[in-house]
Amino acid sequence: MRILVIAILLSLVGLPVKATGQSGDIIRLEGEEWDLMAKPIGYDSLLYMRMKDFFPENINWSTGNYSGYTAFWEIRDGYLCLQRVEADIYDEVSKKESTRVYEVKELQPLFAAYFQAGMIQARWFSGELRAGKGDLVRYVHDGFNRNMETERVLTLRNGKVLKTQTYHNYRRTGLNLMKAQGEIERRFPWKRFPEYRGERIVFTISDFQTTEDGRFVDCDVHSVFIRSLREKTDDGTHPLVLALKETLRSIYPWEVLFVNGKHTIEFQYFTMPLKEDITHNEGDSARYTIVGRVYGESVRQRPPYDVVHDVLVGSNLSMAGQPFLGWLTDSTGCFRIKGLEAGTYHLKAEYVGLAPCDTVITLPLPHNDTLRMVLPLWYDHILKYDCSPELSKENIVKGRPQLRLVIPEGQEQKIRTHFFWKMYGVSYDAFYPLKKDGTLDCYLGVPNHILTAYNRVVFDYLDMKFGNSWRKVAPKGIFGLDKSLDESCDDNTMRKKTLF
């Protein structure tokens, strides 16, 4: 029975329609745990099958972890070494789950060929491994096809780490291609193709190329399929293909992902179905128009790292009670909703990475001012999971007080080895590399006043334990302590003073 279940699971992995995201292993780098977007044991089929046979019958397999285990790794003596393996076990009698931990001593017989000096060295593996931490920047629901804010790419040969490269990934604001269908349909030059009026046209696209600032460069259109006519062409110079590229070029800016040193988009191969809206009638009882502009909060990437408002391109707008209607803001962040009768409308603006904004509008409006909608940062998420006085206090209670700071490029080693950290028992939780031109090398999503409130909990703790002496020797770049980073903002509402 168990062999049958494994065979079914493995067969599902090979089917694109059944592909699903997989949880990876864990690797410890410089005292921190990173998500490893791979399972190195699986690269040796013999080891993988030995592991399968080694586990008990009641191991808890899942579609998010076909292997059924999580391995924990570290770098020792320059080699990738296995620390332990954890597997979830389900007890049929008690109906409860538990975690079974297998230490190196228990695993030694399985990895006898790779056991040396008390360590299991992954000498069967050669290639690249990606370790990440922070928020997801790119995610495809398939295997380990995802990227995180900070990634380290380790190049290995026979288990030995030859090179480590660190990348700071981010999304550049723009229109998300997967949400652009409506905008593309509105801009497509349908009048040139009366023979396709009302037809559904499916474009198969790959290699979508943009400039760094989000301008469309080119793409490969592999095929064009006219659904009802059952017509298909792979001619890259077909008028429909040229018209599509013309339309894509008219939209600016596109959302761009900077991933591991390259500018890309979220999906590299996809289909785009388009169909002209032939139900619209210019004479339809159009009485009123709502004109507005959508802004989004962001953190200024230069001192004082405060909150600023930028127009949002490609923000999605919807109305309560109108599930099949939607609008997108244009390249200036503006939108225009026509053909509305007198009445009250509940309008909602959304954009990936920001909290939504709702407003209620009653038509006719008493004035003709442009409606302004501002989407705030996800403060609830930031304060709960990323940075807040409460999280800072939790770290102190756990005996791991940590600070947030920026470090100029090339100075990380100097700051990391600064005597301050050991002398006062503090570490830095996150830093944001500062380039020579004064901008940050990675995106800072937490505003200064929250970073300062987080740090000041640690300041209070150090003051109570050591007095003020620590302030004179602290490294530069610490939010709330370094005057060059100051934001003229009162953070007393954010900070809850706590005695330790």
How is 362-406 classified by DSSP, letter by letter? Answer: EESPSS-PPEEEEEPB-HHHIIIII--HHHHHHHHHTT--EEEEE
pLDDT of 366 reads 67
Thinking of the domain 288-377, which architecture would CATH place it in?
Sandwich (2.60)
Question: At what angle are helices 448-466 and 389-397 packed, to 10 degrees?
Answer: 30
Whole-number Å distance between alpha carbons of 147 and 429: 20
Domain locations along the chain: 2-166, 172-275, 288-377, 380-485
Cis status, amide bond into 364, omega within 30 of 0: yes
> Topology of domain 172-275, per CATH?
TolA/TonB C-terminal domain (3.30.2420)
The CA angle 258-259-262, to the nearest 5 degrees, is 70
Mean pLDDT by 10 residues, the chain (500 residues): 39 39 92 95 92 87 85 96 93 84 94 94 97 88 88 97 93 80 87 90 92 90 89 94 94 86 82 78 60 92 87 91 82 87 90 91 76 92 91 93 88 88 89 74 86 95 93 91 67 39
Distance in angstroms (rounded) separating the CA atoms of residues 124 and 118: 17
Q: What is the Cα–Cα distance from 428 to 21, expressed in whole angstroms?
A: 31
pLDDT of residue 12: 35
Residue 78 and residue 348: Cα distance in Å, rounded? 53
At 299, which amino acid appears? V
Residues 226, 207: contact at Cβ < 8 Å? Answer: no
Close Cβ partners of 244 (under 8 Å, ≥ 6 residues apart):
184, 188, 203, 221, 272, 274
- For 397, the enclosing helix (H) or strand (E) is helix 389-397
pTM passes above 0.75? no
pLDDT of residue 443: 79
